[in-house]
Structure 1
């Protein structure tokens, strides 16, 4: 099916060279004002991509996105108050 993807937030000094990052994965967003790039890569190759990208001179810092680890299934233990108003 689909490969597991993970997000990398790349803080860059120059936005002109962000085209070079397309060979590592999919560029999702480029912030012109804050100078960062959101890049999605395959999870199994994320460590290799991080080491290679860090060598570029225009990359200041790399952060890993924790979006995959956030719980998105919620349960409500609060009783439903809709019955009180009928």
Structure 2
């Protein structure tokens, strides 16, 4: 039976774009920004700590960050109550 595995994106900032091909052995390369020098890499959730350590040891990797998207609440409906969106004076006049 098919089972879904929890995955998370890692944003890997690289010194050279040639490293993107070698990052395929650590996970699925989803996007490569040639101008901004970063790679979006999808890895299994339980393997994140060990893969992050391996990536930080590579010479061409500058930094590794985890995506915060899985931590966000997708059912956020009322932004005013949470404090994310605050009314401005111009909005009150309408």
Q: TM-score range by the shorter chain?
A: 0.7 to 0.9
2:60 to 58, 80, 85: 58
Higher relative contact order (CA 8 A, sep 6+): 1
Instruction: Name segments (4+ residues, structure 1) moved above 3 Å.
Output: none
Name structure 1 gaps, 5 residues minimum.
77-86
TM-score (norm 2): 0.77
CA distance in 2, matches of 1:49, 1:42: 9
What is the CA RMSD across the aligned residues, in angstroms? 1.7
**1:73 Cα deviation from its structure 2 partner:** 1.3
Name structure 2 gaps, 5 residues minimum.
79-94
* Cross-structure match for 1:6: 8
Equivalent residues, number: 78
